[in-house]
Structure 1
């Protein structure tokens, strides 16, 4: 994780250094590193900063939360990702159709079926 990323996570309230030196350098302890790794893994799973903050709140105060809260956040993310996949599949199908109708030759683009299709109003 870059220093810029760590500073950003600190700025948005996801990560707080345990202390600072007299010259204002951040000092992170083992728990801070564990939190940074948690944030990184959350990001890799596609969770937003807001979702990550919610998951961190659960992590940091487990006795005040229930497992269902983390599951709900995860289920919502799964639904969002499924919708994104569906949209990407539609885009892929459209592009495949556009590509299939184009001759791809050296003719003038005045007659390009891809450009013509994109120019049409829906």
Structure 2
């Protein structure tokens, strides 16, 4: 969901994207950084200072150029995400009607491994 089919592969590659989406595996910050989902790792106690320093660095750049870059990058991505989200909604719509969907939700609530049957 959430347009991940359009946004994840450009960040981490097609194979790793499929691995993460197929398994639903959770990853920590170190792994996110290693595979390209996070640009940098920052200790929690210096997070605010690092964020302010990064914002100040951007603010010191040419504002019109920054705005143009932001608009270009987000505009292209926004269109891809809209298309992917619609496609994902269609797929999830029929999946929600399956016994496997019900089994997955029930298994999660009961904190047990699911028993999927492709039904």
Instruction: Give TM-score, length-normalised by structure 2.
Output: 0.35
TM-score, with normalisation over the residues of structure 1? 0.34
**Which has the bigger relative contact order, CA under 8 A and spacing at least 6?**
2
